[in-house]
Amino acid sequence: MATPTTPLVELDGLGVHLGGRPVLQDLRGALRGRAIGLLGPNGAGKTTLLHTLLGFHAPSAGTARVLGLDVRRETLAIRALSGYMPEGDAFIPGMNAVRFVRMMAELSGLPPGDALERTHEVLWYVGLGEARYRKLETFSLGMKQMAKLAQALAHGPRLLLLDEPTNGLDPKARARMLRLVREIRDAGEVRILFSSHLLRDVEEVCDEVLVLHRGKIAAVVDLNAERDDDHRFLELETRGPGEAFVRAAAEIGCELARTARDRIRMILPDGVEVADLYRIAGLHDTQIRRLARRRDTLQEIFLQAVEGTNGRL
């Protein structure tokens, strides 16, 4: 049974073979974020991992747990707690949005009356209230994506699994989708697994990222910790006699490295702020002409992780 400290997903040597070919290999780790990104190039195994967590594929080795439930033994319980938005369309021709979402809510266990009430609520929530009686095949791509999100939310899941939710969307529809995902995350009632090959989207909505490459884990990244670290890492350009400034900064705990005569990289210790550097510089007749915070983008982290695995895979 899940407790407040139970990881969202635990991977315990998980391996999956499809058609006799290894697709996922020896995945290990615990993921605890509110919104966890599954990141990797096409073919990395992201969708296979989602399907395995939902019980669509049986593990060939090891196991995994979702909210403390084992994917080998408690598949139905996991599905009851989960809402799944697939990458591809899975609509029934001739159905309007209300009939489709209501049917999916009933299949997820809601009584018919409750399912209909929830259907209207979630269709308005995702912006399809006025179009809810239109047939799904008349919807634009963005509207179809919102209909898929609505059916995943209709039964009130504790876990939302989103497979490439922004793929193919125009900028306006993409922004709307990401805004809704952030709202769901920030409400705190639903945890999210967000699978995408679009690094910027993952960076916008996730606080933890699992990077997959060729079926193996290339990295697990705590984005909040990365952002905190970057906040303390500075690059400075100075003018004037800088040696006394460097010594004074070191004396208050700063880690420093000169990259050129007037350029310094510095890590601020806890309790030391940028204002302290300007104060010390003034005391030692040194001018700080430029100060910038380093920001490792998720793209840089991703490329480092993938390049670091190339020799092993």
241 torsion bin: left (phi>0), alpha (psi -120 to 50), beta (else): beta
Residue 312: pLDDT band with limits 50, 70, 90: very low
Please determine, for residue 272, whether its predicted confidence score (pLDDT) is greater than 60: yes
Q: Going edge to edge, which strands form the sheet with 61-66?
A: 21-31, 9-18, 61-66, 69-70
Percentage of the chain surpassing pLDDT 70? 91
| Residue 192 in this model has a pLDDT that exceeds 80 | yes
The H-or-E segment that residue 290 falls in is strand 287-293
The pLDDT, as a whole number, for residue 41 is 82
Residue 297 pLDDT > 90 = no
Report the pLDDT value the prediction gives residue 311, as an integer from 0 to 100.
38
Say if 9-213 and 227-293 have the same CATH topology. Answer: no
Segments making up each domain of the chain, as ranges:
9-213, 227-293
pLDDT given at position 35 = 95
Q: How much of the chain, in percent, has pLDDT values that exceed 90?
A: 67
Residue 229 has pLDDT above 70, yes or no: no
The whole-chain average pLDDT of the chain stands at 89
Condensed to tens digits (0 to 9), the pLDDT of residues 255-266 reads: 888 877 788 988
Strand order of the β-sheet with 255-260 is 255-260, 263-267, 233-239, 287-293
* Alpha carbons 91 and 88: distance in angstroms, whole number: 9
Kindly state which CATH superfamily the domain 227-293 is placed in: MTH889-like domain (3.30.70.1340)
pLDDT at 180 over 70: yes
Please give the pLDDT value at position 313. Answer: 32
Q: What is the CA radius of gyration of the chain?
A: 24
pLDDT at residue 234, rounded to an integer: 86
Give CA–CA dist 230/49, Å, rounded: 31
Tell me, what's the pLDDT at 153? 97
pLDDT band at 301 (very low <50, low <70, confident <90, very high): low
Task: Kindly report, residue by residue over 89-135, the tens digit of the pLDDT.
Answer: 889 999 999 999 999 999 999 999 999 999 999 999 999 999 999 99
Q: What is the pLDDT of residue 242?
A: 79
CATH of domain 9-213: 3.40.50.300
Written as six digits, the tokens of 208 are 């933890």
Distances from the Cα of 118 to the Cα of 98, 111, 129, 130, angstroms: 10, 10, 12, 16
> In the predicted model, is pLDDT for residue 294 greater than 70?
no
Q: What's the pLDDT tens digit per position in 63-79? A: 999 999 999 999 999 99
16-59 pLDDT per residue, tens: 999 989 999 999 999 999 999 999 888 889 999 999 999 999 99
Enter the DSSP assignment of 96.
B
Of the candidate ranges 52-61, 169-178, 184-193, 233-242, the one whose mean pLDDT is the lowest: 233-242
pLDDT at 82: 96
